[in-house]
Each structure stands twice: as C-alpha cells, then as structure tokens.
Amino acid sequence: MTDPSRTEAPRSGPPAGGTGARGRTSPGERWASPQMREHLRRRYRAERRFERAGRAAIGLALLGLAVLLATVGANGFQAFRTTELRLDVFFDPQVFAGLDTASADERDQLLARADYGALVRSALERLFPDVEGRSARRALLGLVSSGARDELRDRVTADPSLIGTTHALWVLADDEVDRYWKGEVSEDLSEGERRLSDEQLSWIGGLAASGRLRTAFATRFFTSGDSRDPELAGIWGAVVGSFLTLVVTLTIAFPLGVSAAAYLEEFAARNRFTDLIEVNVNNLAAVPSIVFGLLGLAVFLNFFHLPRSAPLVGGLTLALMTLPTIIITSRVAIEAVPPSIREAARGLGASPVQVVLHHVLPLAMPGILTGTIIGMARALGETAPLLMIGMVAFVADVPGGFRDASTALPVQIFLWADSPERAFVEKTSGAILVLLGFLIVMNGTAIWLRRRFERRW
Amino acid sequence: MSLLLLLLATISVLAGVGFWMARRRALAAVAAGPARLRSLPGYYGWYAALWSALPAVAVAAVWLSAAPTVIRSLTLASVPAASLPHDPAKLELFVNDVRNIASGGIASASADEVALRAADRYAALRRRGFEATLALVFAVGVAGAVWGVRRVRPELAARVRVEGVLRLALLLCSTMAILITIGIVLSLVFETGRFFDKVPATEFLFGTHWSPQTALRADQVGSSGSFGAIPIFVGTLLITGIAMVVAVPIGLLSAIYMTFYATSRTRDVTKPLLEILAGVPTVVYGFFAALVVAPAVREAGAWVGLSVASESALAAGLVMGIMIIPFISSLSDDSITAVPISLRDGSYGLGATRSETIRSVIVPAALPGIVGGFLLAVSRAIGETMIVVMAAGLAANLTLNPLEAVTTVTVQIVTLLTGDQEFDSSKTLAAFALGLTLFLVTLVLNVAALSIVKRYREKYD
C-alpha cells in the first residue's frame, strides 16, 4: 500500500520504530529527536492540508449552487414585473363604422375585427404630434406591445359603450422598452448595439417624465400561454400541461409501482424469475431518461398512434421512467414494517393478502407516499423524454385535455432559453423560479410526511 | 376519451351491481339456516364483481387494440381500388387525411371527394364499431355478473378465489419492469436494424465523419449523409471526462469532510444544500451553462489569450460536473460509512492521523463502493441530455481539445428527432442507433457498478 505521507518522510529521519535509531536511544529520546519532530510536523501539516482540501471541495460545490441560484433569482425576479404605458385612447367611432346598423352576429364580427392598431397608433401620435415619416411612426408604435390591440379589443367587446369616449388606459409596453425601463440595457452601448434607437429612448424619456410609464406586477406571466412576444408570454399553459402530464404519470406509476413492490417484498418466491425482475428494476432506475423518450416515441406514437405533443403520451412516458423509482422506494418502506406486525396478523387468522392489504401497506404508506412524491418531483423536472415525443412544439393555447397539444414547464424553460430575444432570459429565469418553487413544495411535503407519519420501529 | 369513459363507467356499474347482489345472496343464504359462510360477505361480492368486470375489460381491450386496423382496412376496401394511391407513403397520407376529416379536423390540401366519402365511411364504421363494443361489453358484463352471483353458495371459498386473482394481478404488475426493458430493447433494436439496412454498421461504429444531412428530395444538393459516429463518441467521452475530473475529487472530498471533519452543525446545513444541488432539474443546469458558464469560460480564455469556442466542451463539462457532485458525494458517503468502525479505531490506535487513516484505511476499504459510484456517475454523465443540448455544440468535431465545440450522443438524438424529417429517413433512424449504443453502454456500466457494490456490501455484513 502506498502512503503519500510516509513517502514524504525524510529518508534519514527515522519513522516510529525505524531502523536508524534502534537499540541505542530510549523511546522518549527518539520521539524528541529533531528528525522526529520534523516528521510529526509534516504529518500534521498534511493533516491540515487534507482538511482544507475537504473544506474547499464543499465550498466549491456550494459556490456552484450559490452562483446558480443567484443568477436565476436575479433574472427571474424581473420576470414577475412588467412595464406598462399610459395611453389616452380615443375609441374612434370611425374605426367601428357601420356598427349601428349591424345585426347581432355582424356586430360581434365587427367588434372582433376592427382596427384596434389604429386606436393605439392615433393615441401615440397624439402624445408625440411632431413625429413625422413612416419609419419614425413605426418606431413609435414599436414602443407598445402588439398585445395592446388585443387588450383594447377585449375591453370594447366587454363594453361597447366605450366607443366614442376617451379613456386613459395602461397598456403593455414592448419587451425592449420593458428591459430598458428595468435598467437591463446598459446606457453605454452605442445606438447600433441597442435594439432601441436614440429617438425611441428620447420618447421613453418623455413618457417617463410625464408619469406615463410604470412597473406593475406581471399578472400576464402567470395567466397566459406561450407567445412569440416576450412581454406577452406566460407560463400558465406550461403549468397546466405539466399538471396534466403528472396526473397521468401518477395514476399509472403509483398503483403499478406499489403493487409490484408489494409482490416482490411479500409474495414473490426467491427464484430466477424474481431475480430477473429485481435486476430489471435496478437497471431501469439508472437508464438515461432520453432512452425512455425513445421508447415512448417508438411505442406510443409510432405503434399505438397516440397524439403527438399530448400530456397523455408525456405522462405515460414519464410513468415508465418513474416506475422503477417508486418500486424501489416502496420496497424499502414495506421492508421497514417489522415482521412482528405480520406475525400478529397471521396469528389472528388473517390471510397473507389480508396481512398485506390491511396492515403492511397502510403502515408503509407514509414511506411509499414520500418516495412517490420524490419520484413525481423528478418527473416534473424532466425534459429530455418529453422532447422525444414532440412536446417541444410552440403551443400558445392553454391545453384543455389529455390529448391536446401542450408543453410542460421544463420544456417551456428549454424553449425560452433557446429564443434569441434577450427579454426571454428573464422569462426563462422566472419560469425556473416557478419550477423550483413547485419542486420545493413537493419535496417539502415529502419531508413533512416523513417526519409526521413515519414510525421508527 | 369520453368513449373510453363510457366503457369504463358501464363496466364499473355492472361490477358494482354484481358485488351488491352477490353479497346480499351470500348473506341471505346463511340468514335462516345453520350454515356459515366460508369467507366474509364482501369476498362473495368481489367474486361476482370480478366475474363481471374481467371478461368485459378483456372484450373492451380487444376492441380498442384491434379497432384502428380493422376500421382502416374496411374503409380502404370500400374505396374503389383505382382511386387509391399506390405508393405506400401516399396511401398513409390518404389514411391520415381520412382520419382527420372523420374526427372533424383539417385535412391536407390533397383531400378530395374520394377522401371525403371514405371519411364518412370511416366515421360510420367507427361509430358502429363502438356501439357494437358497448353492447357486447354490456352483455358480457351482465352475463358474468349473473354467472358469478349464481355461483355464490355458503361453501364457496370466495376469499381464496379473489385473493388468487389479486396475487396474479400483483405478479403482472411486477413483470412491468421486464416488459419495459423488453420494450426498450425491441424498439431500439428494430429501428437500429432498419438503420443498418441503409447504412452499414461498420461505417456507423468506425467512421470518423458525421454529417447526417440527408436529402429531402433525391435531386437535392447538400446532402452529405455520412454516419460515422466516432466524433460523437469522442465528444461524449470528452465532456464526460471533464465532468468526472470536476465531480470526483470534489464529491469524494466533500463526502470525506462531512463524515470525518465537519461538526454536526455544519453537516446539518451542508447536507440539505447538497441535496438541493441534486434536486435542481437538468434543464436549469443547461440554462446556467449556456447563460453564465460558457461566456465566462470564453472570456477567461480570451484573457489568457486562448480562443475558446462559444459552445466549448469545457463549459458543458464543468456544469455537468457540478450536477454530478452530489451524486458522487452521496454514493461515496454510503460506502465510507459502511466501513466497519473497528478498522477506523484500529488505525487511530496505531497513531495514524485522521487523513492518514482516511487515505490508507478507509478509502481502500471503501474503494469498491466508490468505484461503483464512479461508474454510475459516468453512466449518468453519458446519458445526461439537457446540459449538453443547451450548452454543447452541434458540430461533430473529432477533437480532444476541451476548448473546442464537440457534440454528444444525446445532443444528436435530440437534434435528429426534433426536426421535420419523415420518420423513415436514415437521419431519424440514426437517432435510434445512437440510442441503442447509449442504452448498451449505460447498461454495462450499471450492471458493473451494481455488481461491484453488491459484492462489496456482502463482504462486511
């Protein structure tokens, strides 16, 4: 065995019981000799070095975590705030020409199709009357999000009596304005390096000076689906998609996993077949998740022709992936129930199945649930298998059922992280914060369950 | 979906009625006389419920799995053969159109009168088939329930029967694990076989040029379509290697520090923090790698005068290493704490310092477990997808320089399969060949790791 600390020791200096000092000196003298002291000092130095290395290792790991969380937190916090712009919108009756004579059906059509962009444009031009030229006007219109039109439409559809009146309304600003107003665009950049021109910046300055800009809580981020425009994009569609997916995963993986664990722990004879099942379970727990995605693609999509991008298929695929985890944790929980419980139940005349159903499983349930929640948390954070079954499609609608095209929270994060617009960086971080929030709640519940209900026998 | 729910509702209602009647019959049979039931009354109920539900479920399952094929061939048979496209791919498109129109969806532009008529037929067949199934399920359910209820007698061993069915069901659940493995192997092997029909296996395994752009049309230029996977394997190993260089020392040392040096207060704080590190989804690590680490690595490289690719292997490997630290740390922790305390005490008793004890006694004794953990970590790094998809490149450079961009097996699988290629192209099939390679390599690593860990555990028990 090679020992670094010993090879470091000086050749001349005698280690304890070394050859050089044998016989002539007493043990006390030997320990007090300068070589020995030096040797001891070296050993202690090595000891301290080792401890420092250990401390540094932990420090590095935690540093990684800290930087990660700080980056996500600092960016993600911004996603929860959005910039709004106050416009005095005149609901010009000319835009809604013909509304008085229209029938009820035509009325709805007219209201839905009216040129709300013109309302936004004229409101802006009234604010900045000296803006001339097509490109300047387009730049001016660029300050307002394209979602402002939809906002006006929703208001007018809800209350047609607005037509002909002027209202001061807060509408969403464009994502670049949003970033500038939050201070995310460096002031030192030259005009060519910015997305906003100097002219636009001066308009923004004018708006700010007249109190027409404000930062508000980004309700939209939590209530709407995906969008190509960063300021309109929200995570609700992804959250619903993830929820539907997990519902499918849970309804499949939980009963299957607990049954399998109960069989393996309580009923299975020790034979080759059982060993084979065990080897399979243990291996599947370590198979890369993307392989499960390939399985889902080949089996559920290409063989069973289930709909692509659907939470149903995503849930099935994730169920196959979490099944081994649930089996393993459930087995541990079932194993922890002491044999005396089983023997007492048997002694009172319960059949083996009754022992398991009436006594072992209820007692093991806290442990099983803990394992299941942890498995579900893993499934919630999983992305790769979902990419394989087509859940990466751009889906703007909030899914309404298990067969609707949908996306999931981690996939949404992946999609936004891939988007070129800088404003998606904060959206991505915001979505990550929401995802981490869900994971913390789930894992916290698992820990609470364990503390509250698990018995030490 | 609602059809499925209707079937399920029918089956459950019938089973419920069967349960109730059988239970009542069992109780009535013993109410008057001296006979006693062999099982609890509820078991007689379950007995009839199972008789009602199981055959009905079987009928429904047969229909649900056979319906698409049967309806498809019946529909096609109704269309005059002359108006059907001969090309199998076009036929598939036609069938898809028919299906879409029948479900009230949008058909592709090529849909015509023939397709519309076929769609009507398709919808009618589907409706009739479903009605027939529902009737059949109902009949079978009623018959089963009646049969089950009529067999109820006090001396019937209902509990034994019901429990037998239950145990069989549990056994079937536990064979799921085998079925999943078989499913993985079959689907991967099947598609890989089709891939090797188009591209020779030797080219895939030993070729050094990877450029999977296949032509969409035969006359298209720019279709290189070479499938030599060596650069991908090398890239995967490079990134895995970097990750291991980061994770193994840090993970191992932190496990040692936690067990031997840290005060219990430090441990109470750091352990949960490391668990958080383990619980962060990989897509978050990927985002972190692409947003923070890759630019930082590039700037650091520029600062010392090296040109670093913006999607360098180093950045992806570093972040993957951070991800794997808690994995290595917890597995090493397990094997270190499994070393009997007597070995440690013996070493201290001989005058060794803590670090000497750790280096010459504990780590050698725990080595099998540590190696097992290392192999599992390698397997995880090879199979890790999101970090490399988001932070490593797509270009298959054959290089060992960590500052250049390389690509990995998982990145290629994702890029090959998330494109718009038709499914049978060698491009998408190549993804399955890569998937099979990935599965086999990780399988070997896992089996090796698990057997090492298992053997080691037996040594000290």
pLDDT 10s digits, A362-372 = 999 999 999 99
For residue B432, list chain A residues with Cβ-Cβ distance below 8 A. Answer: 294, 298
The pLDDT score that the predictor gives to residue B224 is 56
Average pLDDT over residues A245-267: 95
Q: List, as ranges, residues 303-332 from B with C-beta within 8 Å of A.
A: 322, 325-326, 329
Q: How far is the C-alpha of B103 from the C-alpha of B122, rounded, in Å?
A: 10
Residue B109, pLDDT score:
55
- Partnered with residue A328 across adjacent β-strands are none
The band of B123, judged by pLDDT with boundaries at 50, 70 and 90, is confident
Measured between CA atoms, how close is B354 to chain A, in angstroms?
Answer: 7
CA-based nearest distance A47→chain B, Å: 5
Question: pLDDT by residue (tens digit) across B128-175?
Answer: 888 888 999 999 999 999 999 999 888 888 999 999 999 999 999 999
Domain residue extents for chain A? 4-71, 80-217, 236-453
Domain endpoint, select from B156, B171, B196: B156
Interface with chain B: mutation pick from A256, A383, A404, A422, highest number of B CBs within 10 Å: A383
B120 is in which domain, residue-wise? 2-156
Q: How confident is the model at residue A2, as a pLDDT?
A: 43
CA of A157 vs chain B CAs: smallest distance (Å): 29
Domain assignment present for B217? no
Chain A touched by B83 (CB under 8 Å): no
User: Would you say residue B162 lies in a domain?
Assistant: no
Q: A63 to chain B: nearest residue by CA? A: B322
Q: What percent of chain A has pLDDT over 70?
A: 94
Nearest by CB to residue B167, choosing from A55, A72, A353, is A353
Check CB contact under 8 Å for B355 and A428.
no
Dig out the tokens for A356 from the structure. Answer: 């398991």
Give the pLDDT score at A15: 47
A74 interfaces chain B, CB cutoff of 8 Å: no
- A413/B contact by beta carbon, under 8 A: yes
Q: Do A286 and B446 touch (CB under 8 A)?
A: yes
CA-to-CA separations, A191 to A184, A195, A196, in angstroms, rounded? 15, 8, 7
Out of A57, A260, A383, closest to residue B177 by CB: A260
B237 and B348 share one domain: yes
A393 touches chain B (CB under 8 A): no
Q: How confident is the model at residue B420 (pLDDT cuts 50, 70, 90)?
A: low
Confidence of residue A12 (pLDDT cuts 50, 70, 90): very low
Average pLDDT, stretch A414-418?
Answer: 91
Q: Evaluate whether residue B173 is within a structural domain.
A: no
Q: How far apart are CA A211 and CA A389, in angstroms?
A: 49
The pLDDT of residue A410: 95
B163 part of a folded domain = no
pLDDT of residue B353: 92
Question: How many Å apart are CA B453 and CA A226, to the nearest integer?
Answer: 46
Residues of B in contact with A291 (CB under 8 A): 184, 188, 383, 435, 438-439, 442
Question: Average pLDDT, stretch B111-118?
Answer: 74
Q: Are B33 and B164 in contact (CB under 8 A)?
A: no
pLDDT reported for residue A9: 42
What tokens appear for A313 in the block? 């298929």
In DSSP notation, A95-161 reads GGTTTTT--HHHHHHHHHHS-HHHHHHHHHHHHSTT--SHHHHHHHHTTB-THHHHHHHHHHHH-GG
In this prediction, residue A21 carries a pLDDT of 45
Whether A14 shows a pLDDT value over 70: the answer reads: no
Which tokens go with B229? 């996977």
A50·B355 Cβ contact <8 A:
yes
Asked if the model's pLDDT at residue B107 lies above 70, the reply is: no
The rounded distance, in Å, linking the Cα atoms of B414 and A390 is 10
Residue-level pLDDT at B218: 53
Q: Which of A180-189, A264-273, B336-345, B424-433 has the lowest mean pLDDT?
A: A180-189
Q: Does the pLDDT of residue B311 top 50, yes or no?
A: yes
**Closest CB to A281 among B177, B257, B384:** B177
Q: What backbone torsions phi and psi does residue A390 show, to the nearest 5 degrees?
A: 85, 20
Does residue B328 belong to any structural domain of this protein? yes
Nearest CA in chain A to B356: A5
Query: Do B384 and B283 reside in the same domain of the chain?
Result: yes
Boundary (domain end) residue, out of B156, B182, B202: B156
Amino acid found at B143: A
Do the chains contact at B360 and A1, CB–CB below 8 Å? yes
pTM of the model: 0.88
**CB–CB of B285 and A68 under 8 A?**
yes
Cβ of residue A445 closer than 8 Å to a chain B Cβ: no
CB-based contact A51 B355, cutoff 8 Å:
yes
- Percentage of chain B modeled with pLDDT above 70: 92
Q: Taking CA atoms, what residue in B is nearest to A260?
A: B174
Residue of A nearest to B380 (CA): A288
pLDDT for B15: 94
The reported pLDDT for the residue numbered A332 is 93
pLDDT > 50? residue B26: yes
- Choosing from B156, B181, B206, the residue where a domain stops is B156
CB contact under 8 A, A388 and B417: yes
* Average pLDDT score over residue span A450-457: 77
The CATH-assigned architecture of domain A236-453 is Orthogonal Bundle (1.10)
CA distance A1 to chain B (A): 7
The answer, for A405 touching chain B at a CB cutoff of 8 Å, is: no
**Residues in chain A closer than 8 A to B249 (CB atoms):** 57
A25 pLDDT band, cuts 50/70/90, is low
Q: Which range among A33-37, B315-319, B399-403 has the greatest average pLDDT?
A: B315-319
Are A290 and B438 in contact (CB < 8 Å)? Answer: yes
DSSP class of residue B81 equals: G
Residue given tokens 């441990």 in the structure block: B267
**Which chain B residues are Cβ-neighbours of A46 within 8 angstroms?**
353, 355-356
Q: Does B224 touch chain A (CB under 8 A)?
A: no
- What pLDDT is stored for residue A430 in this prediction? 94
Best A291, A299, A301 member to test B by mutation, with max B CBs in 10 Å, is A291
Task: Flag whether residue A131 sits within 8 Å of chain B, measured between CB atoms.
Answer: no
- Check pLDDT > 80 for residue B290: yes
**Of A4-8, A321-325, A349-353, the least confident:** A4-8
* Cβ atoms B58, B7 nearer than 8 A: no
Interface probe for A, chosen from B284, B291, B432, B444 (most Cβ of A below 10 Å), is B284
Nearest CA in chain B to A5: B356
Q: Is pLDDT at B284 greater than 90 in this prediction?
A: yes
Q: What φ, ψ does residue A72 adopt, rounded to 5°? A: -65, -45
Q: Closest approach of chain A CAs to the CA of B270, in angstroms?
A: 8
Residue B355 lies in a domain: yes
**Considering chain B, what percentage of its residues have pLDDT values greater than 90?**
50
The tally of domains found in chain B comes to 2
Backbone torsions φ then ψ of A170, nearest 5 degrees = -90, 120
Query: Can you state the angle between helices B313-337 and B264-279, rounded to 10 degrees?
Result: 130
Cα three-residue angle A264-A265-A268, rounded to 5 degrees = 50
Phi/psi of residue B363, nearest 5 degrees: -60, -45
Task: Report pLDDT for B221.
Answer: 52
Name the minimum distance, in Å, from the CA of A154 to any CA of chain B: 28
Q: What is the per-residue pLDDT for A450?
A: 84
Closest residue to B177, CB basis, from A49, A284, A387: A284
The string of pLDDT tens digits covering residues B314-371 is: 999 999 999 999 999 999 998 898 889 999 999 999 999 999 999 999 999 999 889 9
Decide if pLDDT at B1 tops 60. no
A446-450, B52-56, B217-221, B243-247 — which is least confidently predicted? B217-221
User: What residues of chain A lie within 8 A of the CB of B288, using their CB?
Assistant: 67-68, 71-72
Q: pLDDT tens digits for B60-102?
A: 988 888 887 888 888 888 777 777 777 776 777 777 777 777 7
> What's residue A146's pLDDT?
85
pLDDT-based confidence at A16, cuts 50/70/90?
A: very low
Q: Which of B256, B288, B384 sits opposite A68 (nearest CB)?
A: B288
Asked if pLDDT for residue B442 goes beyond 80, the answer is: yes
Tens of pLDDT, residue by residue over A124-141, are 888 888 888 888 888 888
Q: Is residue B245 part of a domain?
A: yes
Give the model's pLDDT for residue B440.
Answer: 95
pLDDT of residue B110: 55
- A306 reaches B (C-beta below 8 A): no
**Cβ contacts of A283 on chain B, cutoff 8 Å:** 181, 443, 446-447, 450
Strand partners, B211: B226
Q: How far apart are CA A284 and CA A292, in angstroms?
A: 9
* Interchain pair A377, B253: CB under 8 A: no
B213 within some domain: no
- Report yes or no: A225 and A393 within 8 Å, Cβ to Cβ: no
Please indicate, yes or no, whether residues B452 and B322 belong to a single structural domain of this protein: yes
Average pLDDT, chain A: 86
Least reliable range by pLDDT among A52-66, A393-407, B10-24, B347-361: A393-407
pLDDT digits (tens, 9 = 90+) for B242-260: 999 999 999 999 999 999 9
- Is residue B52 located within the same domain as residue B144? yes
Mean pLDDT of chain B: 87
| Pairing mode, strands B210-211 and A166-172 | unpaired
